[in-house]
């Protein structure tokens, strides 16, 4: 089989995406010292977990021929996805157009533009997130050479995490003789929660897998209720088609103010500069651990770093502390890093283990 320049580029990109460190966060809560685990996704190429999805979606589309050389990539996104598709799409030689709600942070818009992509802001009156999707679809209807990744309904989004994030968590914990009892992640598209969940449940059917949502916009648990919240990247006004609520355990709600306070505590106490959804995920992880028992092995993801939130409440000092918040009860003590391990290299071209995993996935009937 011949190797094309795109194959070579994909190979190079895949070596700078995924296989991130796993942080062991030690904290004191309700009288006991405990540890939860979080993938440090700021180590990906553009600094967020969405690189995994964007790379895998484009790789799959390239392999199947759906993505033709030079075709425009158009996607609706609240930010990180846009940054990932812009960087990876441009590296592969594609023009990129990103449709996004106009209330997303300035840093995100500027970053997307810095990669040479076009940004089309969509106001609440134009339909916000749902309007962004409609506009991307309309562009593809006018021009047959537009590729729509459709991250909310693309099975390759889930597969990206089933193939990388899930195994990484499992095998990194295995180096310490640990096995996962529970996983929790905020749901944007749901790719992370569904994909990691699928891999972990294939190892142990009884692993708890919880989606997390903002308490101010509990769309997953109510099916419809949409409110305004400040946890950028999650809860985009509808239940994404790739989310199977029957597969997942019950949604866990976290307040956006509590998430902000926890993300700030991670930065000021441990020097871990993370985004707001990472603060939410840590709160969700310790709630789940509190339910399963202080020694339960619970994992989550720190989806991105704090640099895209410099104009948001994350870096202001005036976040009110409400009575039901958990952050004031948590004392962050220290953290350790579980290294990347050979088993999680994810190198599909050169690693026999991964070639076998991939062959098994390809042989599976489409879901």
Residue found under tokens 């320049």: 5
Binding range to ligand PLP, per CB under 6 A, among 10-18, 110-118, 184-192, 264-272: 184-192
Give the C-alpha separation, 286 to 330, whole Å: 9
**For residues 189 and 217, which CB has a smaller minimum distance to ligand PLP in the complex?**
189
Least Å from the CB of residue 199 to ligand PLP:
14
C-beta of 50 vs 264, nearer to ligand PLP: 50
**For 304, phi and psi rounded to 5 degrees?**
-160, -175
Asked if residue 241 lies in contact with residue 153, where contact means CB atoms within 8 angstroms, the answer is: yes
In the region spanning residues 29 to 68, those forming contacts with ligand PLP, defined by CB under 6 A, are 48, 50
- Cα(344)–Cα(332) distance, rounded to whole angstroms? 28
Judged by CB under 6 A, does residue 162 bind ligand PLP? no
According to the binding rule CB under 6 A, does residue 149 interact with ligand PLP? no
Q: Cβ distance 192 to 18 under 8 Å?
A: no
DSSP symbol at 71:
P
- Minimal distance, residue 156 CB to ligand PLP, in Å: 12
Half-sphere exposure of 40 (CA within 13 A, CB side): 18
Residue number, 34 or 211, with CB nearest to ligand PLP: 211
> CA–CA separation, 137 vs 129, rounded Å?
13
Residues 220-259, mask of contacts with ligand PLP (x by CB under 6 A)? -------------xx-------------------------
Q: C-beta of 321: minimal distance to ligand PLP in Å?
A: 23
Cβ distance to ligand PLP smaller for residue 18 or 190? 190
CB of residue 52 to ligand PLP, shortest distance in Å: 9
Q: Residues, the chain, total? A: 367
188: contact with ligand PLP by CB under 6 A: yes
Residue 308 among the catalytic residues: no
**Site size for ligand PLP (CB under 6 A):** 19
What is the DSSP code (8-state) at residue 162?
I
Q: Within positions 77 to 96, which residues make up the interface with ligand PLP, using CB under 6 A?
A: 78-81
186: which 2 tokens? 């905020």
Site for ligand PLP in 285-314 (CB under 6 A): 303-304
Q: CA separation (Å) from 357 to 20, 106, 128, 342, 364?
A: 19, 40, 39, 14, 11
Q: Which stretch binds ligand PLP (CB under 6 A): 54-62, 73-81, 247-255, 332-340?
A: 73-81
Stretch that binds ligand PLP, among 67-75, 180-188, 337-345, 349-357 (CB under 6 A): 180-188
d(CA 302, CA 280): 9
- Spatial distance between the Cα atoms of 367 and 363, rounded to a whole number of angstroms: 12
> Pick from 168, 200, 161: which is nearest to 340 by CA?
168
Binding site for ligand PLP (CB under 6 A): 48, 50, 78-81, 186-192, 233-234, 275, 277, 303-304
Catalytic residues: 50, 277
């Amino acid at each position: 089989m011949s190797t094309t320049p795109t194959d070579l580029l994909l190979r190079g990109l895949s070596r700078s995406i995924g296989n991130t460190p796993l942080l062991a966060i030690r904290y004191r809560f309700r009288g006991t010292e405990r540890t939860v685990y979080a993938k440090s996704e700021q180590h990906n190429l553009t600094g967020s977990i969405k690189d995994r999805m964007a790379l895998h979606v484009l790789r799959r589309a390239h392999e199947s021929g759906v993505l033709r050389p030079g075709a425009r990539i158009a996607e609706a996104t609240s930010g990180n996805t846009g940054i990932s598709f812009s960087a990876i799409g441009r590296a592969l030689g594609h023009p990129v157009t990103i449709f996004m709600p106009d209330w997303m942070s300035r840093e995100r818009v500027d970053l997307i533009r810095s990669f040479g992509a076009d940004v089309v802001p969509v106001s609440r009156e134009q339909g916000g997130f749902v309007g962004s999707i409609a506009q991307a679809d309309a562009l593809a209807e006018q021009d047959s050479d537009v590729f729509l990744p459709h991250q909310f309904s693309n099975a390759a989004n889930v597969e990206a995490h089933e193939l990388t994030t899930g195994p990484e968590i499992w095998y990194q914990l295995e180096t310490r003789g640990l096995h996962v009892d529970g996983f929790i992640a905020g749901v944007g598209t749901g790719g992370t929660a569904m994909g990691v969940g699928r891999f972990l449940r294939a190892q142990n059917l009884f692993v708890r897998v919880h989606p997390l949502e903002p308490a101010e916009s509990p769309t997953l648990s109510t099916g419809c209720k949409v409110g305004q919240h400040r946890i950028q990247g999650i809860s985009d006004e509808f239940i994404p088609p790739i989310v199977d609520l029957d597969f997942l355990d019950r949604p866990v709600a976290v307040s956006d103010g509590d998430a902000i306070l926890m993300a700030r505590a991670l930065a000021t106490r441990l020097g871990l500069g993370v985004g707001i959804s990472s603060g939410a995920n840590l709160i969700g992880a310790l709630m789940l651990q509190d339910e399963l028992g202080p020694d339960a092995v619970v994992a989550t993801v720190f989806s991105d770093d704090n640099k895209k939130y410099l104009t948001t409440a994350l870096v202001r000092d005036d976040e009110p502390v409400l009575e039901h918040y958990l952050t004031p009860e948590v004392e962050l003590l220290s953290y350790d890093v579980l290294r990347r391990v050979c088993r999680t290299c994810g190198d599909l071209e050169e690693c026999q283990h991964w070639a076998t995993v991939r062959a098994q996935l390809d042989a599976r009937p489409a879901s």
